Structure 1
C-alpha cells in the first residue's frame, strides 16, 4: 500500500487535509500531512529566507526521518512546485506524483512564471512593513468566496488555517535537473467549478516527462477540493496511487 504524503499550498497548513486523511487511512494507507516551514504550528519559523527550497527540504527530511518508501506525493496549488522539487532530490522514494489543481513547473521556472498574478501580491506586500510576508486572500463575494470556498461554515474553518506566506517561495526558480525524477508517473486533478477560476492554471502538457500521455482527472468543485469534496478527492488519490487509469 503506497504511503501518502500530502503537501498543502500557499497560506495553508497541513490541517487543510483533515477531511482527507481519515478517508485514506480507512482505506489502509499510511498518511502524512505536515505543515511546511512558516505555516500552521510552524508559523513562528517564517523568515525572509524561507523559500521553495526550504519547503522541498521539509518534505525530503520527513521522508528520510520516517524511512518512507513507495510514496504517493501529493501537492495542492503551490504545493505542486514543492513536490516537484522534492522528487528531484529523492526520486527513488517516490512512486507517484499527484498535482491537485496545481502547476507542474519546468526546470528554472518560478511560481510567478506559472501564475503571473502572484506578482501583484508581492508588489502590494512591498508597500508594507514586512515586504517578504504575503497575507492570505480575503473573502470575496460569491461565487469566489475564500479561494473558491463559499459555504459559510467552510469559510470560517478555512480562515483558521491560513497565515502569511513567504514571498521568496514565489520568486525562487525550481531546480529539476535529476533525470531519474522524470520517470516518476504523474496524475493531474483539476477543479472545474466556476469558483475554481480564482486560480487560472496553465493547461497540463500533453505528455509527462517520461513521455507517456498525461493523466488528467476533474472534480466539479472549487480550488479547495480537499475541503469541499474530500471523499471524491480521496477516491481519485487512491486510484492514482494504484496506477489505475
Structure 2
C-alpha cells in the first residue's frame, strides 16, 4: 500500500521569538529538520540584531521587539501559530501572544523567562541586573555585551556564534511588559534545559510551571540553546508537544 500524504492539518507554522544577543540566524540548524517534518519555521530577527544590527539605537526596547513580531504575523498573514519563545524571547512571546490571541494557538517556552503583567526581565532576573548594567557601562552605556556560550558548545559553533552575536539594548531588559487582554489562557508548555543551567536563572520558571496544572512541562538534556547544541532532540520534543 502507498503511504498516504501528510495531512495538511498536521503541518504547523512555528514562529520563533529568539533570545537576547541572537537573531533568526541562530535557528539555522532547525530549518531542515522542520522542513523534513512538513512544518514551516519562521525565524525573524528583532530590530537592532542579526541582519538588522545596523538599526541598533538606544531607544529600542521590549515593545519594539513585540511590534517586530506582530508585523511579521500581519504581513506574512500567519495563522494557527505555534509561538516559540527562547530565553529573552519568552518576554517577547508573552507580549505577542497577548496581542495576537486570534492567531496563536499554543505557546512554547524554551528555557525562557515567563513574565507576569507589569514585569521586566530585570524584575524576574534580579541577580543578573547589576552584572549586565556593569557590562553596559564598560561600552557605550546603552548596550549589554553578549554572554559566553555554555561549555558543551562545539568549538565551531562557538566561533559561529561569536562572529554573529550583537550587544543588546539595555531598555529591552528594563521595559515592563503590559498585557492588554488579561491573563493568557491558551495552551502553554515549558521546556527546561537541564545541562549547565546558567546560575539557575530559569529554574524558578521550571519549578513553577512543573507544579501548575495549566502548563505542560518538559525537560531536555541540553544547555541553554538546544537549537544550536541539540537540534534533533529539540525537534523531537517540539513534535511531541504539537502532536
How high is the TM-score relative to the length of structure 1? 0.88
| Separation in structure 2 between the aligned mates of residue 71 and residue 225 of structure 1, nearest angstrom | 21
Instruction: Tell which deviates more after alignment, 115-124 or 182-191.
Output: 115-124
Residue 70 of structure 2 corresponds to 60
Cα deviation for residue 85 of structure 1 reads: 0.5
Contact kept in structure 2, 1:3 and 1:31, CA below 8 Å: yes
Corresponding residue for 1:94?
104
Give the distance between the partners of 1:60 and 1:152, measured in 2 at CA: 35
Which residue does 1:20 correspond to in 2? 30
Displacement of 1:232 in angstroms is: 0.9
On the 8 A contact 1:40/1:161 being kept in 2, the answer is yes
199-208 or 93-102, which deviates more: 199-208
8 A Cα contact 2:133 2:144, kept in partner: no
Contact 2:144 2:170 (C-alpha < 8 Å) held by counterparts: yes
The Cα of 1:117 is off from its aligned counterpart by: 2.9
Q: CA deviation at 1:239?
A: 2.1
Question: Is the contact between residue 48 and residue 132 of structure 1 (CA under 8 Å) also seen in structure 2?
Answer: yes
- Would you say 1:226 and 2:227 are equivalent positions? yes
Q: Partner of 1:97: helix, strand, or coil?
A: strand
- Confirm whether residue 162 of structure 1 aligns to residue 165 of structure 2: yes
Q: CA deviation at 1:103?
A: 1.8
1:37-116 to structure 2, matched below 5 A, reads 37-116=47-126
8 Å contact from structure 1 (residues 148, 196) kept in 2: no
CA distance in 1, matches of 2:151, 2:108: 20
Coordinate RMSD, CA, aligned:
1.9
Out of 3, 12, 21, the residue aligned to residue 11 of structure 1 is 21
CA distance in 2, matches of 1:172, 1:134: 15
C-alpha deviations, 1:100-129, integer Å up to 9, x for none? 001211000110122113312443145345
SS in 2 for 1:109: coil
Task: Work out the CA distance in 2 between the residues paired with 1:31 and 1:126.
Answer: 33
- The question of whether the paired residues in 2 share the 8 Å contact of 1:100 and 1:190 is answered with yes
**Cα pair distance change 1:129/1:233, threshold 3 Å:** closer
Question: For the residues of structure 2 that align with 1:58 and 1:104, how far apart are their CA atoms?
Answer: 19
Aligned residues of 2:85 and 2:108 also touching (Cα < 8 A) = yes
Retained in 2: the 8 A contact 1:125–1:132? no
Instruction: Give the superposition deviation at 1:21.
Output: 1.6
**Gap runs ≥5 in structure 1:** 139-145
2:198 corresponding residue in structure 1: 197
Taking the aligned partners of 1:9 and 1:166, their CA distance within structure 2 comes to 13
For residues 166-207 of structure 1, give each alpha carbon's deviation from its aligned partner in whole angstroms, at most 9, with x where no partner exists. 10000000012313x6221111001001x2235522234358
